[in-house]
Structure 1
Amino acid sequence: MFAETPHSSPVKNIYVVRFGEQLQSPHIVTYRVVEWAQKRGRWILPDLGYKDNGYAQDQIWFVAGGAQILHRDRFDWTQEFYFTQEAGPESHNKRSLWIWPVLDGRYPHHLSSQAVMFPTIPLDSAQRWGLDVDRARVEWNAKPRWLTGVGYSGGICKQRTWQNRPFVSLKRKTQMGDFDLWAQRVPGGAQLQVRWLLVRDEH
């Protein structure tokens, strides 16, 4: 659920933590994600993680792997494949494959972009086909460690209709990782997302 710029170090550990909270009352947690992966040169393997709806009633466990397919001065394409298994009291034991491309662009005037749109391919009869835009965002590097952005996410919901979830974001880069805040409109209201990404060389 990430993309990294390649470095000379042979092995990097990548840690991801994300959660969302509904802004209107009641202020419920909307989702949580924890993920760990290793990048060895251009290869990403293993990639392990967990996602739920905030209260572990509907869980998704996943394992993934992939590689950086293309690296240019202005453009990167990283491709992963996620195998997912649903669990939890409200689950239906769904299994699926996510084909997860991450497209990064770099432009003049301190602008950059990242886009992830993925299909959900069923691996059992409980899972249905789906299509989601995890994020499509343009960011401006206002200061050396601060980035502001505007973006879009959306997808096919349980009712089989398309839901739009636009957002604005503010990112702070630190030695302890990137801290990314999203203020996002969702059906029925709004939510605040907190996203943290840390990349560390393995010694």
Structure 2
Amino acid sequence: MKFLDEWRMFKQLISSAEQVWTQIATSPRGKVVYTVNGVDYTPLPDQYNTKRKISRIFRRYWGKQLTETMIRNLQLRTLKGKLCIPYGRVPTFPCIVQSIQVKANRPNQRVVAAILVGGEQKTRVDYRLIRAGETDAFTIMKRSGREGDVRYRPLAAAVQTLPKPAAKPVPKPMPKPILHPAAKPEARSTKKTKGKGKKKLLKTP
């Protein structure tokens, strides 16, 4: 009975956790009020109008690091004193737990594999859940498949790829100092002209 209760708890936890980002991203019901650099923004409703409020909602299910990543991927922007979000259609993500399996069972820690469905998609995701004590709720600390999901995409994955192509053109300007030795032939040419001038003077009676 305890195992069955825990299985149901994990299923509900993961299902709610996977839907919370979309819940906030699709919450605005008003019209576009601001356009910045070609992107339309609309204010969030009062229950989500600060990052602290959003963080508290995410922290019900997710650890601190994943919470910060999810907030960043909402692409929030404060305009005229209002916390806004890009206006537009939010894609449908697989969020409903079809099946679940506990792969590792340790004191106050579980590794769970879940099959998620939704939006004509189906995917397998592994979760690492941790709790402080036996009476505390579990929190999702790690999630697989983050790179392919806009909600959980880590910033480091994009930043690390940027310096590599930029580093190649740096050595190209180095040949410029070669221009200095080129001045020597000019000096030689002046000596030659002076020499020719002396010979003419010697030949002159």
Same fold (TM over 0.5): no
Give the structure with the higher percent strand.
1
Highest Rg: 1 or 2? 2
**TM value normalised by structure 2:** 0.29
**TM value normalised by structure 1:** 0.29
